[in-house]
Every structure is written in C-alpha cells, then in structure tokens.
Amino acid sequence: MTDKEKLERFLSEQKHMILAVVLDDGTPWAVPVRIQQRRERVFEWDSKLDTIHSKALTERAGTAITIFDKSSDSQIGFYAKGKAKLIEEYKPGYGRYSFVAMHCWMNDETFVKREVEL
C-alpha cells in the first residue's frame, strides 16, 4: 500500500483533528474540532464565532492541524500547515470554517516523517 493510499484510508475514518492557531500575543493555541467534511486538501468544521481559535483565524489565516491514532500494533499521524477561514455564518454566532492544507506530512510505525500529497 502506498503512503497516499494508507493516508486516505486513515483520514476517511477520522472524526476529529487538532487545530493550532497563533494568538495576538504570539502564543500558540491548540484545540480539538470535529471534522464536518473533507475533500482532498480541504477540511471543514463548525465553531462558535466568539471562541479563541475562531477570533484568532479572523486575524491570521495561517494555521496547522494534526490528526493522530495509536493502537497496540500500529500508529499513524497526519500533520499539515495551511490557511483557514470562515466560509459561512450559518446561524447567529456559529460558522463553518475551512482549512486548506498546503504542506502535508505523515508518520507511522516506521518513525519516518515524510511529505505527502493529498
């Protein structure tokens, strides 16, 4: 199985990701969000507009995500940096956000981090 096939299978089963943003004072902030939809390099989630991470995204689009799974006999991690933005406010106080992965890496039980394409 190729890295791309392995990664696609893994990502198709995932429900959550860790979203990392940078706050106004330059400190990092990471939070889990539920993946609502994924198409190739685009990940979408819903969030309140007044959360720390949502406010940070209105100031700075650059962000990163991590998705990781470890079981007794295998492990896989996906890491990406890219741009995120609010794509629609679907009810007062809530929005749908998207992240476009520009650079992606994976790691597995081989412990070799390698760049991958989605």
CATH number for 66: 2.30.110.10
Number of domains present in the structure of the chain: 1
Per-residue pLDDT of the chain (118 residues; tens, 9 = 90+): 899 999 999 999 999 999 999 999 999 999 999 999 999 999 999 999 999 999 999 889 899 999 999 876 789 999 999 999 999 999 999 999 999 999 999 999 889 999 999 8
Q: How far apart are CA 118 and CA 112, in angstroms?
A: 18
pTM value is: 0.93
CB atoms within 10 A of CB 88: 10
Residue 100 is part of which domain span?
3-116
